[in-house]
Amino acid sequence: MRLTGRRVLYTVHTIRVRHKYPMMRISSPAPNEPTLDEFRMGDELHARLNLDDGDPFPSVAEALYERLWKRIVNLEFAPGARLSEEALAKELGVSRTPVREALLRLGQVGLVRVSPRRGFAVPTISRADLIELYDLRAALEIYAARRATSLITDDEIAEHHERQHAAHRRATSLSASAAEEFFRADLALHNLLHQRGGNRRSARHLADLMGQLSLLSLRAAQAPASRLAAIAEHRRILDALSARNATRVASAIETHIEAVKARALEDVEAAVAIAPGEETD
C-alpha cells in the first residue's frame, strides 16, 4: 500500500481473485498470510441486503450499474484503475451511452471517481474518506439496531451466538477458510440488524458504504487479532440484544464501528509510505 499525497492506494498482496473478468493485477501473497480466493464481497452484500429492486425489465443502464457495482466491490478492478467507457462497452456488448450512465451513477455513490479531464477511475481511499465512511456507517447501523432490538427473535440471537463461537474457535488460524468463516458471520450479523431495523433506502446506502470499504474489510478479516477483537464486540452486541435493551445495543454497535475504524486507521498508517505531492484531477 502506498500513499499518494494524502490518498491511500493499496497494493493488494493478500487477496488473490480468480473471477471471470480478471481485471485486477495481483502479486503473490505474503508468507503465512491467508487469502480469500473465491470470496466475492459485492455479490455477498448485494444478496444479503436484498438490493434488487424487483424490476423484471431494468433498463440497460440500470442492469450495467448493478453489474459494475458488484464487480467494483468484488475488487475486480484495482484501486486507481482507469475505467474506459469504450473498453467496457466492447467487453459487455453494449453501446457507450448506458456504460457512461452507469459510471456516472456509480460516481454519485462514491464507487467511481469522475474527473472532467481524466474520465472514470476506481477511487483510492484517503484517511479523511475512511473516517467519514465509518462515521456514516455507524449512524445507519445504530439507527437500525435500535429498531431491531425488539424484533429479532431469541432463536436468531442463539444462531448468531453459535456463528460467533464457531468463528472464535478458528480465529487464530491463518487459513483462508477461517477468514471467510469470520467474514460471513460478520456480514450475517450486520445484515440481520439492518434487515429487521432498517429499510430499503438505508440498506442501499449501507451497501454503498460497505462497498467502498471492501478492501479494508477483507484485509481485516485476514488478521487474527482483528478477528478476535471483532468477535468480542459482536458478542457484546448479541448480549445486549438478549437483554432487549435498545440503548445497550446502540452503544455496543457504536463501540464496535469505532473500534473497526480505529483498526482500519492503524492498518493504513502502518502500511503506507509518504510520498511528496498530491494526486489531483
What average pLDDT does the structure give for the chain? Answer: 83
pLDDT 10s digits, 127-160: 899 999 999 999 999 999 999 999 999 999 999 9
Question: Residue written as cell 477511475?
Answer: 121
Cell, residue 191: 445484515
Q: In what order do the strands lie in the sheet with 274-275?
A: 125-126, 7-9, 2-4, 274-275
Q: Within 13 Å and on the Cβ side, how many CA atoms surround 269?
A: 9
Can you list the domains of the chain with their CATH numbers? 125-271 (1.20.120.530)
Report whether 60 contacts 105 (CB < 8 A).
no
Q: Residue 129 to residues 23, 116, 157, 201, 272: CA-CA distances in angstroms?
A: 24, 21, 33, 22, 15
Does position 5 have pLDDT exceeding 50, yes or no?
no
Tell me if the pTM is above 0.85.
Answer: no
pLDDT 10s digits, 83-140: 999 999 999 999 999 999 999 999 999 999 999 888 999 998 888 999 999 999 999 9
One-letter identity of residue 275: A
Cell, residue 30: 505474503
Exposed/middle/buried for residue 108 (C-beta within 10 Å: 0-12, 13-18, 19+): exposed
Q: Which of 203, 183, 171, 179 is nearest to 51 (CA)?
A: 203
Does position 28 have pLDDT exceeding 50, yes or no?
no
Computed over its alpha carbons, how large is the radius of gyration of the chain? Answer: 19
